[in-house]
Structure 1
Amino acid sequence: MSLRSTVDFLLYDWLRIESLTQRERFAEHSRETFDAVLDTCERIAREKYAPFNRLVDTQEPQFDGEKVILPQATHEAWRAYAESGMLSAAQDVEIGGMQLPYTVEAAANAFFARASVSIGAGMLTVGNANLLMAHGSELQKKVFALNEFSGRWAGTMCLSEPQAGSSLSDIATRAVPDGADFEGDPLGPRYRLKGHKMWISAGEHELTENIIHLVLAKIPDEDGRLIPGVKGISLFIVPKKLVDAEGQLTGERNDVALAGLNHKCGWRGTTNTLLNFGEGRYPVRGAAGAIGYRVGAPGEGLRCMFHMMNEARIGVGMAAAMLGMAGFEASLDYARNRPQGRPIGPAGKDPAQPPIPIIRHADVKRMLLAQKSYAEGALALELYCARLVDEQHTGTPEAANDARVLLEVLTPIAKSWPSEWCLEANSLAIQVHGGYGYTRDFPVEQYWRDNRLNMIHEGTHGIQAMDLLGRKVLMENGRGLQLLGARIAETVQRAQQVPELAAHAQALAQALQAVGAATQAAWASGDPADALANAVPYMQAFGHTVLAWIWLDVGLVAHRSADHPVRTGRLAAMRYFFHYELPKIGAWLQVVSHRDRTCADLPEEAF
């Protein structure tokens, strides 16, 4: 079974994506146009990405003092991706887009993540441009966003700082008005920025003629002091090279300097940088500071940036799912071809008998089924979330509002669950290979190294968990949790009518009830410190419940399909998840429900 066949099943049989063509925005599309996009992306990924995945891992980016040097393969992959039109796939036809459903765009991008997540595609550039389309001025959209959608320019997001990490309220980068006429610049209110940003993916390269940085910074108050907390944070467009109001390069280099490349465990093909803004290395227009143009109102920076961050979190989840899928496919191929050992029982005691392929051993099947359940389940989750994006943008007002709230609740899971459990899938892929898996002769060790970043990428597990339990399940009086519960209950009701699935339906119903009770128990004291002390176990249980629902819903469709080994495998992965994974939530929810303070109360001296 190929990734393409899995994508086709999830898109057309499960999500019934063809029904979107009945909506005005997608009326010019059909399954044929969707398939053509998938075909193109699958081909580019196969030809321009997959053959060079090991190359970009071993030939890391180098800085020669003036520019970052990347392998030629990376340049060719970026060019092919940009020429495919995928950077503007979901945009209006009037601005050069394909007006594709986001679900199809997400599915098409899965092929690139599967082939080489290290080379990367356009996630940050597209997210940067989408943010500007939502919050930028008309000229900012025309000059910056459209040039990113075309592939002429690339984009980044600059949030973290060396001293602040994920604590964005503690950032120290400052922006001051650039001259008395700063409000009159056609590209937006013009500021001078000074500060340092860390962990900036694709922060410096020569793949495009310009790089558009979206930078969070604080505007001082009337006394020149930075406003504490997030209220003082604003968002700025800071181009690497200055441009005019027509989108043409002026020939001036902005004061954005590469301070260093971060040398990573994985994702080595993508530059990751420390950038200095306004340090004076590239003085511009006779004054200190990098020139930036404010996006939106002062103090609205974090709200605007969340538009990009939430989009990136779904992208990170998809990348994690595809790395899990890559490891599964590699270990499945190895298990089918590696002879070792003999079957348990009398027949296996005869040393004259030839060894059998290791896929026939029960424990190897266990590890393969675990990988399949994690990776395919994660892919289904990401596509479901993408389908909610389409519903939010093109559904009826009521359906769009429901989709918005559901996405709020599911986004922490869409980011965190694949990044944890598809990493575990990669670990199991190494285990299936045995000692060979720990060598660089096989690709599975690189998949693990690449995937290890995703638990940190775009907000760590702890941050996602506090967002889920501390905000998302409480927002709008718990409406998101109620909507999710209703959808799960609907799946349970349908599955109860199928004898082969009835027991799974009952198990899911009990899990949903347990999560609801634990949510109430966590907040019973009203003290956030009590509730959030075990936010990660809560998120793990919540995520497993969501994935059990996804698998049961997928299983209902698979059950109706014709008898085939693919159907057998898909239903077996669903059973595996219910028998081996879902029972784990009891241990996680126990500490949540009891508001266990073992971790929270331990003094640091005790370590």
Structure 2
Amino acid sequence: MTHRATIDFLLHDWLHADALCDRERHTDHSRETFDAVLDLSEKLANEQFAPLNRLIDIHEPEFDGVAVKLPAETPVALKAFGEAGLVGASKDVELGGMQLPTVVEIASMSFFYKASVGLAAYPMLTRGNANTIVAHGTPTQIETFAKPGLEGRTFGTMCLSEPQAGSSLSDINTRAVPDVNGDGSGTDWAQDPLGQRYRLKGNKMWISGGEHEMGRYRLKGNKMWISGGEHEMGENIVHLVLAKIPGEDGKPVPGVKGISLFIVPRKLVKADGSISDQRNDVALAGLNHKLGYRGTVNTLLNFGEGKFPVNGQPGAVGYLIGKQGEGLKCMFTLMNEARIGVGLGATMLGYAGYEASLNYAKERPQGRHMGAGGKDHSAPQIPIIEHTDVKRMLLMQKAVVEGGLALGLLCSQLVDDELTGSSEQGENARLLLELLTPIAKSWPSEWAQEANSQAIQILGGYGYTRDFPVEQYWRDNRLNMIHEGTHGIQGLDLLGRKVVMNGGKALSVLAERISQTIQKAGHVPGLAEHGTALAQALQKVGATTKAAWSTGVPEEALANATPYLQAFGHTVLAWIWLELALAAKAAQAEGEWDQRPEGPGFLQGKLAAADYFFAYELPKIDAWLGVVSRRDLTCAKAQADWF
């Protein structure tokens, strides 16, 4: 009950999501329709996803030499999700969507992440895949590849990494050459396995489909760590693949500017957009067996090796999306969405662990109260939730997971403001979203993982066994530190680009928002002290940002980008918790929550979590900011032979 009640509190008492219904795009909606979607989501998650969480962890995907085998229940659950219309819930009605606000769509998704993140990864990737095609594709590409995904009929992936490149995307080797003759005859892959030298007589082959067109290419290369890359579910799998097109000299353009983005379907599509029975030249090279997320099939894919030749020729058929050389720019639509999704998934794994350890702590008797004369061993044992250190661990989890959920919903509402707000509101939302995306991905990935550790600790020895779910939550969550960019990458993005872009304008927008909250808190008994602490933290972050860049030497400024990310994230979460405390105080004054099943303790718990964050978490930023402001080079100067 705590999750749904918290969703209602965040959406309505804090974010006032009902106001979005006054905007033209959402006029058909109301709080009643929002509640109906959330009710459906909670029901589906509990009935279709949650019962499979342990099953798909134990029975991992297997390849029998012909097809990838998944538990029979997996496609049933995902079909139910798709048929409920939840994949494209926020999309246009013309695309099969409901035009829900993004913040409601993401609130809906939180139930599925908590129930089974391994299953939820499939629709999350499919939605991001389709949204990217909608943002950058042609009308034909949208109709042919995005719409079926949003309708839940097909699945989508993102294919970035390669075995030799990892996160260094400028080093990818996958090549794409124009399919000049439309049958692969203009792509002599035998001439050069990497496709680096070709004589090209034209840029593209255009295939007409009514009023639409798609540029056709042949791809060859290998992609690693592809979630959902091969299975038998749905009508098709649509891969979004980064690859390089050779330049006029037959060689790939170096760096990220040479990267383009391609739609590569598992099954070929016909001229009318319908799906063919013929396989594209995309073959499974192997399955990766990870620590967690075991229900999400993870693959190494070979593109264009000739296992499934098209028209007798090797080379996977792909369609250029967006402009040539702007592949990474287009893919960031999916990557940024996925980063927020990863952060929310991490949060909800933490939330699942919190709820499990909370229930255990209320039921597990152990120990006795300490009286003035010591323990009375004849007295009955007490539930461990009565012990102070268990309360500490529960408050830590509560502060992290409810704060992380609030962060994810805030970022989602910024998407709504960017799309449907006034011009000024939209621009500020865009800047703020860019700035907060590294935080939305990395902060929950780090601290919800620690929350899962605390959940295990509360269960004691039982927490390490598979008799209880918390060990799986920990394993699943450990992957989120790497998914969609490590902390190091996010830190470099934040300190190296986001806080200094446009002369620091995004940072100024955030500072103004935080200052407004501080001003409000100054007039509320019990919150003024928190406001003062937040003001000091904000000042420290600003001063440290300037100190880091004071020499203008990137190597010095960015030497401690990860501690900067940690301090920045904690400051943002302190702001969010002050916002939530203000909302809780206002709700207490109204008294409406007193009449609900959660009772008055629900709001008091929000205030206690805020108190915990300001007392135990926010003070940590001083150590992190210290090494940044001093431009400490202890780590940067370390030599390989010192280790």
The normalised TM-score by structure 1 is 0.99
Please name the residue that 1:2 is paired with.
2
Residue 187 (structure 2) pairs with residue 165 (structure 1): no
Select which of 363, 366, 379 maps to 1:353.
379
* Paired residues of 2:102 and 2:413 also in contact (CA < 8 A): yes
CA offsets, 1:466-509, max 9 Å, x none?
Answer: 00000000111100000000000000000011120000000000
Moved more, 349-358 or 108-117: 349-358
CA offsets, 1:190-231, max 9 Å, x none?
Answer: 111110000100000111121000000000112221111001
1:349-428 aligned at under 5 Å gives the runs 349-428=375-454
Deviation at 1:76, TM superposition (A): 1.1
Please name the residue that 2:358 is paired with.
332
Deviation at 1:295, TM superposition (A): 0.5
* Paired residues of 1:139 and 1:245 also in contact (CA < 8 A): no
CA distance, structure 2, for counterparts of residue 29 and residue 586 of structure 1: 45
Deviation at 1:336, TM superposition (A): 0.6
Deviation at 1:258, TM superposition (A): 0.4
Please name the residue that 1:176 is paired with.
177
Moved more, 86-95 or 398-407: 86-95
Deviation at 1:180, TM superposition (A): 4.5
| 1:395 maps to amino acid | G
1:278-293 aligned at under 5 Å gives the runs 278-293=304-319
Consecutive unaligned residues of structure 2, counting only runs of 5 or more, are 183-203, 589-593, 595-599
Please name the residue that 1:89 is paired with.
89
Secondary structure of residue in 1 paired with 2:370 = coil
CA distance, structure 1, for counterparts of residue 549 and residue 271 of structure 2: 52
Residue 498 (structure 2) pairs with residue 484 (structure 1): no
CA distance, structure 1, for counterparts of residue 328 and residue 373 of structure 2: 66
Select which of 582, 587, 603 maps to 2:618.
582
Deviation at 1:183, TM superposition (A): 2.7
Please name the residue that 2:195 is paired with.
none
* Paired residues of 2:207 and 2:271 also in contact (CA < 8 A): no
1:19-418 aligned at under 5 Å gives the runs 19-120=19-120, 121-180=122-181, 182-186=204-208, 187-346=213-372, 348-418=374-444
Secondary structure of residue in 2 paired with 1:220 = coil
Moved more, 6-15 or 181-190: 181-190
| 1:183 maps to amino acid | M
CA distance, structure 1, for counterparts of residue 16 and residue 448 of structure 2: 26
| 1:585 maps to amino acid | I
CA offsets, 1:4-41, max 9 Å, x none?
Answer: 00000000110000001111110010111111100111
1:424-439 aligned at under 5 Å gives the runs 424-439=450-465
| 1:117 maps to amino acid | V
* Paired residues of 1:278 and 1:290 also in contact (CA < 8 A): yes
CA distance, structure 2, for counterparts of residue 183 and residue 478 of structure 1: 44
* Paired residues of 2:95 and 2:150 also in contact (CA < 8 A): no
CA distance, structure 2, for counterparts of residue 605 and residue 360 of structure 1: 51
CA distance, structure 1, for counterparts of residue 458 and residue 320 of structure 2: 52
* Paired residues of 1:234 and 1:301 also in contact (CA < 8 A): yes
CA distance, structure 2, for counterparts of residue 131 and residue 41 of structure 1: 24
Select which of 592, 600, 604 maps to 2:636.
600
| 1:599 maps to amino acid | C
CA distance, structure 2, for counterparts of residue 533 and residue 461 of structure 1: 13
Moved more, 587-596 or 344-353: 344-353
Deviation at 1:95, TM superposition (A): 2.6
* Paired residues of 2:13 and 2:587 also in contact (CA < 8 A): no
Moved more, 440-449 or 172-181: 172-181
Please name the residue that 2:488 is paired with.
462
Please name the residue that 2:196 is paired with.
none
* Paired residues of 1:342 and 1:348 also in contact (CA < 8 A): no
* Paired residues of 1:127 and 1:308 also in contact (CA < 8 A): yes
Deviation at 1:92, TM superposition (A): 1.2
Deviation at 1:354, TM superposition (A): 1.6
Deviation at 1:355, TM superposition (A): 1.4
| 2:612 maps to amino acid | Y
CA distance, structure 2, for counterparts of residue 297 and residue 185 of structure 1: 17
* Paired residues of 2:308 and 2:314 also in contact (CA < 8 A): no
The normalised TM-score by structure 2 is 0.93
1:449-528 aligned at under 5 Å gives the runs 449-528=475-554
| 2:113 maps to amino acid | A
CA distance, structure 1, for counterparts of residue 334 and residue 132 of structure 2: 6
Q: Over aligned residue pairs, what C-alpha RMSD do you find? A: 1.0
CA distance, structure 2, for counterparts of residue 95 and residue 342 of structure 1: 60
* Paired residues of 2:564 and 2:624 also in contact (CA < 8 A): yes
Deviation at 1:103, TM superposition (A): 0.4
CA offsets, 1:38-59, max 9 Å, x none?
Answer: 0111100010011111001000
CA distance, structure 1, for counterparts of residue 272 and residue 475 of structure 2: 43
CA offsets, 1:133-152, max 9 Å, x none?
Answer: 11001100011101111111
CA distance, structure 2, for counterparts of residue 227 and residue 600 of structure 1: 31
CA distance, structure 2, for counterparts of residue 347 and residue 168 of structure 1: 66
Secondary structure of residue in 2 paired with 1:234 = strand
Consecutive unaligned residues of structure 1, counting only runs of 5 or more, are none
CA offsets, 1:365-412, max 9 Å, x none?
Answer: 000000000000000000000000000000011110110000000000
* Paired residues of 1:87 and 1:126 also in contact (CA < 8 A): yes
Moved more, 561-570 or 158-167: 561-570
Select which of 525, 530, 555 maps to 1:529.
555
CA distance, structure 1, for counterparts of residue 586 and residue 154 of structure 2: 47
* Paired residues of 2:227 and 2:298 also in contact (CA < 8 A): yes
* Paired residues of 1:260 and 1:275 also in contact (CA < 8 A): yes
Secondary structure of residue in 1 paired with 2:118 = coil
Moved more, 348-357 or 275-284: 348-357
Deviation at 1:246, TM superposition (A): 2.3
* Paired residues of 2:584 and 2:607 also in contact (CA < 8 A): yes
Distance 1:539 1:77, change over 3 A: same
* Paired residues of 1:548 and 1:577 also in contact (CA < 8 A): yes
| 1:578 maps to amino acid | F
* Paired residues of 1:342 and 1:349 also in contact (CA < 8 A): yes
CA distance, structure 1, for counterparts of residue 89 and residue 70 of structure 2: 26
CA distance, structure 1, for counterparts of residue 8 and residue 637 of structure 2: 50
* Paired residues of 1:143 and 1:245 also in contact (CA < 8 A): no
Deviation at 1:303, TM superposition (A): 0.4
